[in-house]
Amino acid sequence: MIIGVPKEIKNNESRVGMTPAGIFELIKNGHTVYVQSGAGEGSGFFNSDYQKAGATILDTIGQVYAISEMIVKVKEPIEEEYHLVQEGQIVFTYFHFASSETLTRAMIKQKGVCIAYETVEDEDGSLPLLTPMSEVAGRMAIQQGAKYLEKPKKGRGVLLGGVPGVAPGKVLVLGAGTVGIQAAKMAAGLGAHVTIMDVNMKRLRYVNDVMPPHVVTEFSNEFNIRKHIKTHDLIIGGVLLKGAKAPNLITRDMLKDMHPGAVIVDVAVDQGGCVETTKATTHEDPIYIIDDVVHYCVANMPGAVPYTSTVALTNVTLPYVLKLANNGWQSACQNDASLEKGLNIVEGKVVYKEIAETFDLGTPALV
């Protein structure tokens, strides 16, 4: 198969779809790989590294799309890329279709085979290709939240870990999935008081077993959320509904009850956010303030640590890329139920139920 790795052109997105080590494995399996010039530089991988691994370097993104049977990316195509996707071409990347009707309709029109990292699902319900980026984003959420709690950044002026004689900051984590647990771990390590909420008692029991005593679990409902936002300094939104839009757990009217200078980091922004006032921001302009509450809603948080993120991503995507390249998408998906769940849009038809429901596109087509 001919595989293309384009340079990411989303704002401040420095990750790349494949490391030289991943390219080496693809070449070893008899495939041809084209990499756009400079695609890996933001992650610390240079053209010469890809050439040594056996890839051919092309100058433009258009050349990479035009020659490739499969595109391996990190983020969804943005508007200027839509027309480059060809009919029948596999695009394997994070799509997060439920957060963008424009993207969904564009990919239906282009008739590509859109396989989304975030909906590839193992038998136990885990999301193997979303997990490493959720781990990065969950840990980063505390770093960023701690920074924006500082007064020069318009925050409340609270040190999360406190000092002797001064109580530590309070962190509220919504969701006890991968993002939530990683955020709680980092916040606890800084010495903050952490409350983590979920509707899944199994997850809360797990958190209770593995976290230190200053991480407190509580069942998630509107009453409890309204109670806690009045006293917490940093709120992390880490709620995920697979392939669907995240629910609004914090509404606009709740902001007035929060401390002025409190910070919300909505990691769920990729799926529309779990805070009503969430709107996607960029690393260039990461925050905005509503009712004196600082909102940090960067849609590609792991893009700020591209070396770590790219290596972590290739570690998990490469086995699936090899299956697709070795067998073609139809055979690969027939033989791997996890990969089949990654199919979102196939040659103009939506095949993933949650996306069809989000945009009232009727009953999803059968593959």
- What is the residue type of 366? L
Specify the DSSP element, H or E, that contains 173.
Answer: strand 170-174
Number of residues written out for the chain: 367
Which of 31, 228, 233, 270 is the catalytic position? 270
Annotation-wise, does 292 bind a ligand?
no
Helix (H, G, I), strand (E, B) or coil at 106: helix
Annotation-wise, does 11 bind a ligand?
no
Which of 31, 96, 232, 295 is the catalytic position? 96
Annotation-wise, does 343 bind a ligand?
no
168: left (phi over 0), alpha (psi -120 to 50) or beta: beta
Annotation-wise, does 341 bind a ligand?
no
The label of the residue with tokens 């290596």 reads 311
Annotation-wise, does 301 bind a ligand?
yes
Annotation-wise, does 203 bind a ligand?
yes
Distance CA 356, CA 349 (A): 10
264 near 275, Cβ under 8 Å? yes
Annotation-wise, does 268 bind a ligand?
yes
Helices and strands, counts by H and E, the chain: 11, 15
Q: Percent helix, strand, coil in the chain (nearest 5)?
A: 40, 20, 40
Annotation-wise, does 240 bind a ligand?
yes
Annotation-wise, does 75 bind a ligand?
yes
Annotation-wise, does 239 bind a ligand?
yes
96 is catalytic: yes
Work out the burial of residue 279: count CB atoms within 10 Å of its CB; fewer than 13 is exposed, 13-18 middle, 19 or more buried: middle
Annotation-wise, does 15 bind a ligand?
yes
Annotation-wise, does 366 bind a ligand?
no
197 near 218, Cβ under 8 Å? yes
Q: Of 353, 99, 347, 146, which is closest to residue 246 (Cα–Cα)?
A: 99
Residue numbers belonging to the annotated binding site: 15, 75, 134, 198, 203, 220, 239-240, 267-270, 298-301
Residue numbers belonging to the annotated binding site for NAD(+): 134, 198, 203, 220, 239-240, 267-270, 298-301
Residue numbers belonging to the annotated binding site for substrate: 15, 75
Task: Cite the active site residues.
Answer: 96, 270
